[in-house]
Amino acid sequence: MKRLWDKGAGIDEVVHHFTVGDDPILDRELLYWDCIGSAAHARGLVTAGLLDEKQCGDLLAALHDLAELAQRGELTIPPELEDGHTLIESELEKRIGEAGRRIHAGRSRNDQIATAMRLWMRSATLEMLDALSTFMTALRGRIADDGDTPVPGFTHMQPAMPSSVGQWLHALFEAGLEQMRAGLDLLSRLDSCPLGTGAGFGVSLNLDRAHTAELLGFSGPQRSPIDVQNSRGRKERYFVRVAVDVGALIEKLACDCMLLFSPPLALIGLPDEFTTGSSIMPQKRNPDVLELMRARGAAMRSLETELNWVTAKLPSSYHRDLQLTKRPTLRAANEALGLLDVATRVVLAFTLNHDRLRDAMIPELYATEAAFELVRGGTPFRDAYREVAARIKAGALKAPARAEAGLADPDALNEALSEFEALALRTHEVRDRVRQAEFAIFSPD
């Protein structure tokens, strides 16, 4: 057997190469999950009376073996086999004969890949949430250590009002919390099992879909077979968006650091081992790491666009176009994880130039405070505003530098930290549940 649908006719090699595309490479990352999904399907076939216990045992043992090879990266997909599904069925047949030819009963590559991708996305979401927690823990540490250090707050790239390291990093922490919530919402969206829907119109073989869904750690089956196919690209889009939003968060951190780092401001520094040099200018120390965080964070958005181009304007059900949903999805996870990793190191490493920070807290930053003082004394705000504007024009602004101005609100911060704990806990619960199911899949008690 070569291709699963091989009926003896030849194939044009250019066409074959074009249709196979990157699958032999991309599917390597999916093989492990395909083995997991296949194990659940094999166990389901027993319940449906289409496989005996012995055959199922052989299949599970062989799939377990393949899963481990896959995890170690030792399973490669020869291009003539088209994709990972074909490799697995072919390996099973080679290893255990007839049982291998039985496993595709009641399934199609259409529900098989949907299942593998769903499992992969669930796992990758948990991995992103993990990396996000680590990043946020670094933010929390810097807030604890340096939160009270005053920094000018900038609007329009101009010094505007008194702020602080804590107030700044608290904002990024809140954006991180929003991403954690989004990640948990995403896990709910991914929590239904495509297995047992066949090519996209159901299977008349008495499969117990609720059972296989449970085996795989899902709350239940994805109800509509056509929607299983229609949701390819849709579920991926949800996934990619969470990754893209992580990218946007790191992009903002990078832009903030660029502003504070760049001379003559130079309010923060980077250790030498975080900067790079010029091949021609001996004096340069450049924040390339920040520039690439900005650029890679920004560019991730094109992955959502790529996904949309692939799936747009398609009628319901399966089309070969859907194959191309894999690349941007896998790449999005990769980019998000790389960005979180390097961003965590940047948060831990940047230094504060205290002298310059002190000089930067110029009197003009407190102009609004001056107006508020008048307001507290009874002046209508708009009148106070004009009064202070006049003082500034006359060079007579006395800055009421209030030490506490611009500090992060401690109650708000504590509330945020508590929410972080709660969300991290919920994430761990999901992780424990699904890991347990995945771990147990090859071993029917």
Looking only at residues 20 through 79 of this chain, which bind its own copies when binding is defined by CB under 8 A? 21, 50
C-alpha angle 337-338-344 in degrees, rounded to nearest 5:
90
Which of 46, 76, 127, 202: binder of its own copies (CB under 8 A)? 202
In a 10 Å sphere around its CB, with 0-12 CB exposed, 13-18 middle and 19+ buried, how is residue 411 labelled? exposed
Q: Is 163 in the site for its own copies (CB under 8 A)?
A: yes
Query: For residue 429, which amino acid is it?
Result: E
From the list 28-36, 133-141, 281-289, 426-434, the region that binds its own copies by CB under 8 A is: 281-289
Does residue 159 bind its own copies (CB under 8 A)? Answer: yes
When binding is defined by CB under 8 A, the residue of 71, 134, 219, 316 that contacts its own copies is 316
Question: Binding to its own copies by residue 288, rule CB under 8 A?
Answer: yes
Q: Which of residues 317-346 bind its own copies (CB under 8 A)?
A: 317-321, 323-324, 328, 338, 341-342, 345
Shortest distance, position 270 Cβ to its own copies, whole Å: 9
| Least distance CB 7 / its own copies (angstroms) | 5
**Least distance to its own copies from the beta carbon of 354, Å?**
17
- Of 14 and 445, the one with the shorter C-beta distance to its own copies is 14
Could you identify the residue written with the tokens 């059972």? 211
Q: Which residues face 155 on adjacent strands?
A: 158
Q: Which residue among 46, 61, 69, 258 contacts its own copies (CB under 8 A)?
A: 258
Amino acid (one-letter) located at 373: E
Nearer to its own copies, 358 or 435 (CB): 358
Please, which residue, 144 or 389, has the CB nearer to its own copies? 389
Neighbours of 391 (CB within 10 A): 15
Smallest distance, its own copies to C-beta of residue 120, A: 20
Smallest gap, in angstroms, from Cβ of residue 60 to its own copies?
17
CB of 6 to its own copies, least distance (A): 7
Nearer to its own copies, 198 or 217 (CB): 198
Nearer to its own copies, 28 or 301 (CB): 301
- Out of 37, 217, 269, 287, the only residue in the binding site for its own copies (CB under 8 A) is 287
Least separation, in Å, of the C-beta of 264 and its own copies?
5
Closer of 69 and 205 to its own copies (Cβ): 205
Retrieve residue 218's tokens: 């899902």
Does 278 sit near its own copies (CB under 8 A)?
A: yes
What residues between 97 and 126 interact with its own copies by CB under 8 A? 98, 101-110
- Residue 214 neighbours by CB under 8 Å, 6+ apart: 220, 437
By beta-carbon proximity to its own copies, the closer residue of 65 and 364 is 364
Q: What gap in Å lies between CA 238 and CA 254, rounded to an integer?
A: 25
Considering only 66-74, 132-140, 271-279, 427-435, which stretch makes contact with its own copies by CB under 8 A?
A: 271-279
Residue 220 C-beta: closest distance to its own copies, Å:
9
- How far apart are CB 191 and its own copies at their closest, in Å? 11
Site for its own copies in 365-424 (CB under 8 A): 367-372, 375-376, 380-386, 388-389, 392-393, 397, 402, 404-406, 408-409, 412-413, 415-416
Residue 172 burial (CB count, 10 A):
21
Interaction of residue 281 with its own copies, rule CB under 8 A = yes
Question: Amino acid identity, residue 111?
Answer: D
* Rounded alpha-carbon distances, angstroms, from residue 210 to 47, 57, 202: 12, 21, 14
Supply the minimum distance, in Å, between the C-beta of residue 69 and its own copies: 22
Q: Whose Cβ is closer to its own copies: residue 61's or residue 255's? A: 255
Nearer to its own copies, 163 or 212 (CB): 163
Q: Is 302 in the site for its own copies (CB under 8 A)?
A: yes
